[in-house]
Amino acid sequence: MTSPGGARESALRALIKIDEGSVYAGQARNRVLRFYNLPIQERAFCTKLIFGVTKYKKAIDYVLGAFSSRPVQNMDPIVKNTLRLGVYQILYMREIPDYAAVNESVTLVKSLGHPGKAKFVNAVLRSVSRKTDAIIFPDPSRDWVSHIAVKYSHPEWLVSRWIKRFGPEGTINLCLENNKEARIVVRTNTLKITREDLIKELDQQGFGPYPSNLVDEGIELRNAGGLFNTGLYLEGFFFVQGTASMLVSHVLSPEPGDEILDLTAAPGSKTTHIAELIGDKGRIVACDMHEHRLALIKDNAERLGLSSVEFIRCDSRRLPKDIKATKFDKVLLDAPCSGTGVLRKKADLRWRRIKNDINHIVTLQTELLESAANQVKPGGILVYSTCSIEPEENEVLISDFLSRHPEFSYDYSQPFLPSGFKKAFQEQGRPYVITYPHIHGTDGFFIARLKHC
């Protein structure tokens, strides 16, 4: 179906669904893109609008509160989200003329059956456009938390935590990085093609590829419109995976012939990476408790041409008897986490998380880590990773684990790192790896390699 209002109407419909709390931002984007037949450039614009408005919602609503006599929370969903779209374009998309942002917003409200409210939308957006230089955010000299939380659109509880660790300047840089568009990175399936040849193929198809300087099989793309419809994708020549995420499998350092257990494995990015690193020669048992997520691993493994992966549906805290009776050379637990290291990829996650979530998540992570530890053979390796940058989920949790398990110790040294990351971390002096978006330009990840003594 073709959307009469194009990218803006499609984005509006997605934003209303996100606002209702019924779907995640990524799901809402995918649904409108499947439903409306938008050209590639319009699809990209629609995505930018959805994720941009969602990320900057706190700052946008603050601005609307200053320019509207009507409280944002009392506005009709169509009017409220149309105004958000308009303010986002005026403040954060300088390539779009203000008059276009205003006029298109007014047209959008009219076309969706709200002609009487078009004057209100027009008045608010024109006022914002005329007085952008007069917008005053909370005074940092009085309250850094409020200033950063509002101006850079993050929840206060997260900003408060980060200021204690990174200081105001570091926290601002982290928030700025989180508000950027996520980079598209692909992992070369080295069982089918070399990175150099894949770069040539992607370049010929207009994706603007260039090699990652951190991971040998990584390729970053300048644009990704239509990527998943290419023969290269459908025939399994690459997998979309972030650079820091690729590092996890390298720290595991799997070898051909290894027996490997991958807990909470879906959607299979690390599972399939491990299979490629061992040349598809070994045994990988991938566990996940959700059938539809386990199906994602199966589909990805099949597309990539991998046969060394077995699939087990189970709660990774309560493994089947045959698996529980087996000791593995390598065990990977990429644990469920708060996701604070991937906020630029998950636009609405910052608004869905609350402070108390971390305590509940740590309890789950601890239970999963105990289960994982039971499956490591003497002399074997256990790798624990998260896409969180919160200490309770990472180094504090591992420290507590090691205090209870003297049979395990840190086993981390530079040879397990790809050359690019080795250079980046040689000065850290830590027995684990932690990446930060604002420092390393990657997702935020924690990775600990433990050895069973």
SS3 assignment, position 445:
strand
Of the candidates 306, 218, 324, the one whose C-alpha atom is nearest the C-alpha of residue 263 is 324
The span from the CA of 413 to the CA of 335, in Å, is: 22
Residues 6+ apart with CB under 8 A from 31: 14, 17, 23
Q: Is the peptide bond before 267 cis (omega within 30 degrees of 0)?
A: yes
Residues 6+ apart with CB under 8 A from 141: none
The tally of CA atoms less than 13 A away on the side-chain side of residue 352 is 17
Active site residues: 387
- Token pair recorded at residue 255: 């070898």
DSSP string, 211-262: E-SSSTTEEEES--TTGGGSHHHHTTSEEE--HHHHHHHHHH---TT-EEEE
DSSP string, 319-355: --HHHHT--EEEEEEE-----TT-TTTSTTHHHH--T
H/E stretch holding 300? helix 291-304
**Residue keyed to tokens 């589909």:** 299
The span from the CA of 187 to the CA of 190, in Å, is: 9
Which residues share a beta bridge with 304? none
* Sheet arrangement for strand 184-188: 209-211, 218-221, 184-188, 238-240
Q: What angle do CA 42, 122, 124 make, to 5 degrees?
A: 105
